[in-house]
Amino acid sequence: MSTDARRPRRERTVRKVASVSPAGLEGGQYQPLRHAEVLRIHQAALQVLERTGVEVMASECRTIFAAAGARVDAGLNRVYLPAALVEHALSVANQDVVLYSRDGRNDLHLRDKRVHLGTGGAAVHVLDLETGALRDSHLRDLFDIGRMVDQLENIHFYLRPVVARDMPNMDLDLNTFYACAAATTKHIMGGCYFPEKVTEVFRLGALLAGGAEQFAARPFFSFNLGYMVSPLRFATETVETLTAAVRIGMPVALVSAPQAGATGPATLAGTLVQVLAEELAGITYVQLLRPGHALLMGGMPLVTDLRTGSMIGGCAELALMNAAAAQLAHHYRLPIYNSCGITESKLPDVQTGFEKGLTSAVTALAGAQYNHHAAGMLESLLTVAYENYVIDDDINAQVMRLVRGIEVTEETLALDTIHEVCTEGPGHYLGHADTIARMNSEFQYPHTAHRGSRRDWEEAGALDMRERARINARSILQSAWPQTITPELDAQLRAEFNILLPRAVMAPGSA
């Protein structure tokens, strides 16, 4: 019998439950490295930069390094960074980065060890919500997923999750940011494939903000840029985009992602040394361009399954290394662009849940400030599923409850309550005034996971979590139409840019 045939009429959308553990709670409870090991990895990374150096082709970047005192071997195209140059860069780096939201309600304060979980990736496939079939990702997906993210409280930012494969490359950057901004006012991060497009994205932000000064003061767009090709090689074209972004004032995440056993050493410690050296080289370059510029350390070490050579992310080794990378960032008091929530599963299933829950919990408890890939991703970052954003919102709520921890005060020790129940009351706490008062602040309730009895579950259609999430996703997409861009402003944007998302799809009831 089909799912639709056995679903009773009483089936309805799962009720949204507010989080008792909001974004920005401070983590750091889990530390895989001892302090002496953090210092040892730091010193080893400095040694790599002085001894091995980084490959930098003839370019403005190499000229800037040379002018700052780095040693250049033009024959080998290598730049060797003295420790003093790196240490100076760290001393002037911005330790108080804020990634702003457009409406001011979801600003990401990335100082200390304040934890945020959000989307990520550059997936090229989508599991269709209605058919479950694999298809190419489209511009409309960026808008529709963004509408879901806007409604899901435990997804704290919107990093473009898919590549729109239904448009020319030259239109991709601007239209990606437009589609995301049309869907949500949460902070938006995305790539930029061409240096000349940086100005266009800034101009889009300025128009949305009401002026260039307003956008420069509170940029609600940022870039994640893979400036490094591991091992230790600057990507010339991406560095040009990085340079343009820094000079115009856009926040950047410096993405370096070596795979242990392939583009990084097989040892986890060795990969941490390499990724840190790559990040320190990037940080040094950015500080030479613009001291104090808003940046995120983007060290997100990945893992290779040495039996197949494939990249994997849903594993203990990735969780360990990304937690350790967060510790290294904390050593410099810099925010980190960290990775979690990756799975090798091809659809939302048990494997997906355990791999996502493992890595998201570990990196959040390590105090990583910006955890991307924490919603929606499948198949080693190649695919997303709409229902997984709903499921991952539930996972993220529980993860943030772990980060919140246990509050120990005279009041929460509950001595008077224990005494009353045991000596005057019925011998249990159900119905006690303190229990009722705290039921919505002490406990996190899922909106999609089922906690009722088997009978209740069967009467509701005996649906598994994936099917309940699909119902919830459909409900959001049918009802949530955020009006983030007025028709008048949209007309101005379309007059200036080649906007490819039809205005008709942004109006209520057009889906």
Report pLDDT digits (tens) over 163-172.
999 999 999 9
256 CB-near residues (< 8 Å, 6+ apart): 226, 227, 228, 230, 275, 278, 279, 282, 298, 299, 300
Residue 19: per-residue pLDDT: 77
Residue 17: per-residue pLDDT: 59
d(CA 102, CA 187): 7
pLDDT at 133 over 70: yes
**Average pLDDT estimate for 417-436:** 94
- Written in H, E and C, the secondary structure of 172-205 is HHHHHHHHHHCCCCCCEEECCCCCCHHHHHHHHH
pLDDT at 508 over 90: no
C-beta neighbour count of 429 within 10 angstroms: 15
- Written in H, E and C, the secondary structure of 318-343 is HHHHHHHHHHHHHHHCCCEEEECCCC
pLDDT at 184 over 70: yes
**Average pLDDT estimate for 326-343:** 98
Mean pLDDT rounded to a whole number for the chain: 95
Q: Check: CB of residue 287 under 8 Å from CB of residue 295.
A: no
Residue 507: per-residue pLDDT: 75
Q: For residue range 430-449, what is the model confidence (pLDDT) as tens digits? A: 999 999 999 999 999 999 99
∠286-287-290 over CA atoms, to 5°? Answer: 85
Residue 13: per-residue pLDDT: 53
Residue 1: per-residue pLDDT: 38
pLDDT at 238 over 60: yes
Residue 425: per-residue pLDDT: 82
Q: Check: CB of residue 318 under 8 Å from CB of residue 343.
A: no
Residue 149: per-residue pLDDT: 98
Which residue has tokens 């089936």? 11
Q: For residue range 23-78, what is the model confidence (pLDDT) as tens digits? A: 999 999 999 999 999 999 999 999 999 999 999 999 999 999 999 999 999 999 99
Q: For residue range 357-407, what is the model confidence (pLDDT) as tens digits? A: 999 999 999 999 999 999 999 999 999 999 999 999 999 999 999 999 999
d(CA 31, CA 35): 9
d(CA 61, CA 158): 30
d(CA 17, CA 437): 17
pLDDT at 485 over 70: yes
Q: Which domains are assigned to the chain?
A: 95-265+291-404 (3.20.20.480)
The H or E element spanning position 394 is helix 386-404
d(CA 480, CA 231): 44
Collapsed DSSP state (helix, strand, coil) of residue 112: coil
Tokens linked to 399: 């993860």
The H or E element spanning position 239 is helix 236-248
Strands (E), 22-123: 54-55, 71-73, 78-80, 98-99, 108-109
Residue 9: per-residue pLDDT: 35
d(CA 34, CA 330): 13
Give me the percent of the chain exceeding a pLDDT of 70.
96
Which residue has tokens 């409870």? 29
Order across the sheet with 310-312: list the strands. Answer: 259-260, 302-305, 310-312
pLDDT at 210 over 60: yes
Q: Check: CB of residue 312 under 8 Å from CB of residue 303.
A: yes
- Find residue 26's DSSP bridge partners: 114
Note if the pTM is more than 0.85: yes
293 CB-near residues (< 8 Å, 6+ apart): 94, 246, 249, 251, 252, 286, 287
Query: How sure is the predictor about 18, in pLDDT bands with cuts at 50, 70 and 90?
Result: low
Residue 73: per-residue pLDDT: 98
pLDDT at 14 over 50: no
